[in-house]
Structure 1
């Protein structure tokens, strides 16, 4: 029963956190922000991508704090600041510098409402079915990510894009508080990981320094960062890409929802497979599916089949979703649990640098070439290279 409540809490927290309510809606806000600023898509993409820089800086700090103080307190403080940061969007004029600063603050302060805060709880609590637990928790995150673009679109139409962020902030508060109340049922799961694992329950583990000294850490991190740039760059620009291909605004928003559905399938599917198949094989397959999705979006002509474009969007979402489960699972199996928060935080930081660069590069490529085709082709090739690289990390160091 406690395991089920823990899964429900993390699902609810992820659905009302940074990944679903901010990152999952950036594509919907891209064109309205560009229009408000009177700028190209590269400028608007950069403003939104500053949240990834904030997340990249905040993730190692949050990881360290969770290793020392436990997840519950870190998530609670992060949630309060995350909600306040959403409300901050409504204050002041809409300038590139100010919007970029505000989104940076959202990423920095809301970091523990993302998988950075919630997935270490599951890694600590589910010893043998870790991947399945990640997959189940991802269902809530996926539902949130699929629903959030529609909520944002409704609020934007009714109140304007700045106030739409305030609506999302209220939603984050309600769902986040509910998740925290459920987490109180099993406070043991939110203890600092080193304290909880004393006595050898989880066996030996790497320190942060030892993990950073291993080549496999950098192979994993760089491969995932490259694919993150491809995945989020594609997802942020999918609504604009679909509009350019002659689809209506509602169809473009639906495309973002298909990405979110793909994200859910990718996370749940990867989670289930990770308990059965070596993680490097799962990662390779996910990266290759992302390459196929990119090729579909790159090669579709004007007014193509909507089903084909939806498939491309879904495959791109699956790529990002699979990464969400792969990172914590790889950290647990290759580097252990005693410094899980710290190691995972650094890996997430590098992942976020990829998510920062991807949308910006896609925006620059479009502004210069007036087409997404070249950058999507390049992105697909990058996925193939990363798929090969991730197979080189070898067997698990901490299989159980």
Structure 2
């Protein structure tokens, strides 16, 4: 019975996997570090200036993810995702063609982030929430390994290409990759269940969500996590090249993040269907905190370990957001609830890279940042122990009953 969910919905899984792989949360975010130094070298930017792209981009994405959640609930995931992917492709071409300095770069990033919020995991996880009941954790883990694919391939393939052909050519290649994936995603999503909860979206007011303490609890946990983890990922490639590694060598080590992301998401997805999500979340963040501490104290010698531990943390956060929201709040407002929590997560992802860059400019190294990131993750782990979710995934009958009353 459980396995039949995968047989019946494999097209949704594959479409979501590909869409997330080429979406703005994967292909753009994991390429930031690759473009950071070439852009700074050509235009004379500081490391903090180079980090402004992540700050501006994720800030505008955070603003748009809430209305995007409403659009997904109102018009369906497939339409929003496909249009957004097309805009991701166009945005990469714009970055390669129109960037002439810091101002133009940041303006394009801002516009890109506003127009492409529908290519985040939001619409794709919603499709899985509708399709899966008993295997929801595993299904979310499978599709969200798409971000790990970007983390593996971009450092390995794009970094040497940019080093040889320049950053403009690198952006053009990314535009082509995204454009090539859109028809495949469209064909796979034909006939997918996407309107099952759309008609219910007006029945639950936003006030009932904002008056729920569980919402703010999740927001704080994932804000701290995003500050620490995404701030580190954006600078990880630069950390490696600062230590004396060549771009290909740094790309090979950085690609370990992607491998770890995939492993982390599959393992966490498997565990979420069997054990308490609160304990899984807490344990993961505390382990990642220890890893960042070791990376900061040990330096380049622990670069591979740092890549693996960082990937494990990234390999869980979006899965956990989607899973916890599906457990704690009514399904008919999934898009809105996910959008709000993910917006807070993106705020952390915006501030983290910039804060890391500022600390680097002040100290001349990343040690102070890694100590800060370790502390933030440890606090997030402690707070996770109090998430009001116990036991594995509820049965299908219990799920439907809870979705009528939970807000």
Q: How big is each residue's C-alpha offset from its partner over 1:160-193, in whole Å with a ceiling of 9 and x where there is no partner?
A: 1122111101101111321121011x33x22262
Shift in Å at residue 315 of structure 1? 0.7
Alignment of 1:212-291 (within 5 A): 212-291=210-289
8 A contact 1:291–1:379 mirrored in 2: yes
8 A contact 1:24–1:260 mirrored in 2: no
Q: Which moved more, 1:91-100 or 1:316-325?
A: 91-100
1:163 equivalent in structure 2: 169
| Alignment partner of 1:178 is 2:193 | no
1:356 equivalent in structure 2: 350
Between the aligned partners of 2:100 and 2:221, the Cα distance in structure 1 is: 36
Instruction: Indicate how the Cα distance of structure 1 residues 177 and 101 shifts in structure 2: closer, same or farther if over 3 A, else same.
Output: same
Q: 2:199 is matched with which residue: 183, 192, 195?
A: 195
1:28 equivalent in structure 2: 34
**Structure 2 length-normalised TM:** 0.90
Alignment of 1:1-400 (within 5 A): 1-184=7-190, 186-187=191-192, 189-191=193-195, 193-195=197-199, 207-301=205-299, 304-305=300-301, 308-395=302-389, 399=394, 400=399
Shift in Å at residue 152 of structure 1? 2.1
Shift in Å at residue 333 of structure 1? 0.2
8 A contact 1:70–1:191 mirrored in 2: yes
Q: Secondary structure at the match of 1:89?
A: helix
Q: Which moved more, 1:118-127 or 1:137-146?
A: 137-146
Between the aligned partners of 1:222 and 1:281, the Cα distance in structure 2 is: 17
Instruction: Indicate how the Cα distance of structure 1 residues 192 and 341 shifts in structure 2: closer, same or farther if over 3 A, else same.
Output: farther
Aligned length: 388
Shift in Å at residue 311 of structure 1? 1.2
8 A contact 2:87–2:116 mirrored in 1: yes
Shift in Å at residue 158 of structure 1? 4.0
Q: How big is each residue's C-alpha offset from its partner over 1:200-219, in whole Å with a ceiling of 9 and x where there is no partner?
A: xxxxx965321221112111
Q: Which moved more, 1:114-123 or 1:104-113?
A: 104-113
8 A contact 2:122–2:339 mirrored in 1: yes
Instruction: Indicate how the Cα distance of structure 1 residues 247 and 342 shifts in structure 2: closer, same or farther if over 3 A, else same.
Output: same
Shift in Å at residue 93 of structure 1? 4.2
Instruction: Indicate how the Cα distance of structure 1 residues 369 and 197 shifts in structure 2: closer, same or farther if over 3 A, else same.
Output: closer
Q: Secondary structure at the match of 1:300?
A: helix
8 A contact 1:48–1:100 mirrored in 2: no
Q: Which moved more, 1:356-365 or 1:112-121?
A: 112-121
Between the aligned partners of 1:197 and 1:5, the Cα distance in structure 2 is: 25
Shift in Å at residue 386 of structure 1? 1.0
Between the aligned partners of 2:291 and 2:110, the Cα distance in structure 1 is: 29
Extract unaligned runs of 5+ from structure 2. Answer: 1-6, 400-407
Q: How big is each residue's C-alpha offset from its partner over 1:250-301, in whole Å with a ceiling of 9 and x where there is no partner?
A: 2211232112222222222211111111111111112112212211220124
Shift in Å at residue 20 of structure 1? 2.0
Instruction: Indicate how the Cα distance of structure 1 residues 255 and 209 shifts in structure 2: closer, same or farther if over 3 A, else same.
Output: farther
Instruction: Indicate how the Cα distance of structure 1 residues 207 and 334 shifts in structure 2: closer, same or farther if over 3 A, else same.
Output: farther
Q: Secondary structure at the match of 1:86?
A: helix
Instruction: Indicate how the Cα distance of structure 1 residues 209 and 128 shifts in structure 2: closer, same or farther if over 3 A, else same.
Output: farther
Q: Which moved more, 1:102-111 or 1:274-283?
A: 102-111
8 A contact 1:19–1:145 mirrored in 2: no
8 A contact 1:12–1:141 mirrored in 2: no
8 A contact 1:234–1:362 mirrored in 2: yes
Shift in Å at residue 375 of structure 1? 1.4
Q: Secondary structure at the match of 1:393?
A: coil
8 A contact 1:334–1:396 mirrored in 2: no
Q: How big is each residue's C-alpha offset from its partner over 1:27-66, in whole Å with a ceiling of 9 and x where there is no partner?
A: 1111112212202111001123322112111211111001
Shift in Å at residue 331 of structure 1? 0.7
Between the aligned partners of 2:275 and 2:116, the Cα distance in structure 1 is: 33
Q: Which moved more, 1:133-142 or 1:112-121?
A: 133-142
Between the aligned partners of 1:317 and 1:210, the Cα distance in structure 2 is: 35
